[in-house]
């Protein structure tokens, strides 16, 4: 699903809201896909960038053992 908060006003949103929601029970731990909405303009953004208020929290989110990013999984379009 797509998610995000316009302007990311909460610097801990990734771990305290998104990750906490995913980890809240056995069913939500089975979420297969989360995509942030796009960063369209400097005043219209949903994801972090280096130096933004939520950047450090996003790094903590990314390194949580439950998270798998595109580079962490095998190429699903190549046969073994």
**Tens-digit pLDDT string for the chain (80 aa):** 789 899 889 999 999 999 999 999 999 999 888 898 888 888 889 989 888 999 999 999 999 999 999 888 888 888 77
Summarize pLDDT for 18-31 with one digit per residue, the tens.
999 999 999 999 98
Q: What is the pLDDT of residue 49?
A: 86
Contact 14, 5 (CB under 8 A): no
Q: Which pLDDT score is estimated for 23?
A: 95
- For residues 16 and 13, what is the distance between their CA atoms, to the nearest angstrom? 5
Cα–Cα distance for residue pair 80/68, rounded to 1 Å: 20
Q: How many CA atoms lie within 13 A of 4 on its CB side?
A: 14
- Identify which of 50, 73, 40, 66 has the alpha carbon closest to the alpha carbon of residue 58: 50
Cβ neighbours of residue 10 closer than 8 Å, sequence gap 6 or more: 16, 17, 54
């Amino acid at each position: 699903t797509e998610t995000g908060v316009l302007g990311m006003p909460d610097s801990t949103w990734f771990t305290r809201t998104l990750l906490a929601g995913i980890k809240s029970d056995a069913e939500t731990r089975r979420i297969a896909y989360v995509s942030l909405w796009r960063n369209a303009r400097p005043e219209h953004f949903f994801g972090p960038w280096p130096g933004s208020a939520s950047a450090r929290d996003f790094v903590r989110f990314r390194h949580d053992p439950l998270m798998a990013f595109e580079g962490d999984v095998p190429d699903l379009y190549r046969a073994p």
